[in-house]
């Protein structure tokens, strides 16, 4: 009997979509089958079917998903993905997140899928990786104290939870400067706890830089991809997280040598500069010897000039003396000249008209004074100058 309730196509399609995509089994599924009807469109997305035992599943793999290069008609593959319902075509499709050739194993496929998912979220981005402290005071180590314990925790989720909890506890304590996550070598199954999403996200969330040293050099885990630095082995991780004593000594010695060389070069440059300055000072300094000779020459010339001037002055003085002697009345008298004065007023007679007849005169010559005419003995003498 038909249901009295009538549903729209949209309602039924939505119901199918919800049921398919909420089913735990179908939300993370690994399927093995043969590829058929492969079609890759211009956008880069691939559409195909997986066949096996007479059955077929429609699949879609969007461009850039891991393992898309393994898609080839007739190829037996492992694919991992989630079932979805596409309403416009009314089809249930397996949306493939990763693909690998058969023989790789389901764990390898899951690793490819998870690595692609975390990479798309930026957990592997090199720009977010932090430098390690150069001289860590405390190093936190997430590992097992014995190999036997590892045998007990290799069952995946339990071990992954313990590793994530240890990283979180070290961050909560805040004492460590760097964290080492380490484990010896083993198979993919042995190392699977380090390939889990839980461990990868705990390393990503760590506020303390993380160094991974898991397995051997050929082993590569999700923890290695997320860690700030990856070491090929646990011992290499320890070396990476701690300064190399020999390298430090070498750096110190190298620094000392560079400092010594720089100081030596500096001293040499200063010496050269001082030498050049000294040369400039010597070239610019006055020639004392020449200056002394110039002073002597100037002194000699000055002395000679002074002597010439003194001699000239002496001659001028002699000439003036001679002229003065010429003008000296006594000298004139000595040359035979005489001075005639009147007795009356001692005036010098320069003209005969100055002397009245009978006036008494006195005449001065070089040898003395004469009266003219001779004075009468009874006549009083006129005072003479």
Report the predicted TM-score, pTM, of the whole model to 2 decimal places: 0.51
Residue entry with tokens 């070089």: 366
Q: According to the model, what pLDDT value does residue 21 have?
A: 86
Beta partners for 362? 341, 371
Cβ-based neighbour number of residue 107 at 10 Å = 16
Could you read off the pLDDT of 221-273 as tens digits, one per residue? 999 999 999 998 888 888 888 887 787 788 888 888 999 899 999 999 999 99
Cβ-based neighbour number of residue 157 at 10 Å = 12
Q: Where are the domains of the chain?
A: 9-120, 139-245, 291-327, 328-385
CA-CA distances (angstroms) from residue 197 to 185, 193, 202? Answer: 20, 9, 8
DSSP string, 236-286: HHHHHHS--HHHHHHHHHHHHHHHHHHHHHHHHHHHHHHHHHHHHHHHHS-
Scored b (16 or more CB within 10 A) or e, 203-233 reads: bbebebbbbbbbbeeebbbbbbbbbbbbbbb
pLDDT band at residue 170 using 50, 70 and 90 as cut-offs: very high
Per DSSP, 348 falls in state: B
Residue 77 and residue 33 in contact, taking contact as beta carbons nearer than 8 Å: yes
Cβ-based neighbour number of residue 98 at 10 Å = 25
- Top CATH class of 139-245 equals alpha beta
Residue in 152, 249, 227, 131 with CA at minimum distance from that of residue 182: 227
Could you read off the pLDDT of 123-159 as tens digits, one per residue? 999 999 999 998 888 999 998 654 433 444 345 557 8
Residue in 225, 234, 232 with CA at minimum distance from that of residue 139: 234
- Say what percent of the chain tops pLDDT 90: 26
Structure tokens at 24: 């735990």
Residue 35 and residue 60 in contact, taking contact as beta carbons nearer than 8 Å: no
CA-CA distances (angstroms) from residue 256 to 63, 249, 260, 263, 267? Answer: 57, 10, 6, 10, 16
Per DSSP, 232 falls in state: S
294 phi and psi angles, rounded to 5 deg = -65, -40
- Top CATH class of 9-120 equals mainly beta
Nearest-angstrom CA–CA distance, 157 and 152: 12
């Amino acid at each position: 009997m038909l249901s009295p309730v009538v549903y729209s196509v949209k309602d039924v399609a939505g119901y199918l979509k919800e049921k398919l995509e909420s089913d735990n089994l179908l939300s993370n599924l690994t399927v093995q089958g043969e590829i058929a009807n492969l079609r890759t469109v211009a956008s880069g997305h691939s559409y195909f079917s997986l066949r096996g035992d007479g059955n077929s599943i429609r699949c879609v793999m969007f461009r850039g998903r891991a393992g898309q290069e393994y898609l080839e008609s007739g190829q037996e593959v492992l694919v991992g993905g989630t079932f979805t319902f596409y309403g416009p075509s009314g089809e249930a499709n397996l949306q493939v997140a990763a693909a690998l050739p058969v023989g790789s194993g389901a764990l390898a496929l899951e690793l490819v899928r998870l690595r692609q998912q975390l990479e798309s979220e930026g957990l592997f981005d090199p720009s977010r990786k932090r430098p390690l402290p150069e001289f860590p005071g405390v190093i936190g180590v997430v590992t097992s104290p014995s190999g036997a314990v590892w045998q007990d925790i290799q069952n995946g989720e339990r071990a992954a939870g313990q590793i994530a909890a240890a990283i979180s506890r070290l961050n909560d304590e805040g004492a460590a400067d760097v964290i080492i996550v380490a484990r010896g070598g083993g198979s993919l199954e042995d190392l699977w706890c380090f390939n889990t999403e839980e461990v990868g996200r705990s390393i990503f969330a760590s506020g303390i830089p993380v160094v991974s040293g898991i397995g051997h050099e050929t082993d590569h885990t999700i923890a290695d991809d997320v860690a700030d630095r990856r070491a090929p082995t646990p011992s290499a991780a320890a070396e990476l997280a701690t300064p190399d004593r020999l390298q430090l000594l070498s750096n110190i010695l190298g620094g000392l040598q560079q400092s010594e060389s720089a100081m030596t070069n500096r001293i040499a440059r200063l010496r050269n500069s001082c030498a050049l300055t000294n040369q400039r000072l010597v070239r610019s300094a006055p020639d004392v010897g020449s200056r002394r000779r110039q002073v002597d020459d100037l002194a000699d010339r000055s002395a000679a000039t002074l002597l010439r001037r003194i001699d000239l002055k002496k001659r001028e003085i002699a000439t003036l003396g001679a002229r003065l002697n010429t003008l000296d009345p006594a000298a004139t008298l000595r040359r035979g000249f005489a001075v005639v004065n009147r007795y009356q007023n001692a005036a010098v007679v320069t003209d005969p008209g100055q002397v009245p007849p009978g006036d008494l005169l006195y005449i001065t010559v070089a040898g003395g004074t004469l009266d003219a005419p001779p004075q009468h003995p009874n006549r009083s003498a006129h005072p003479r100058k």
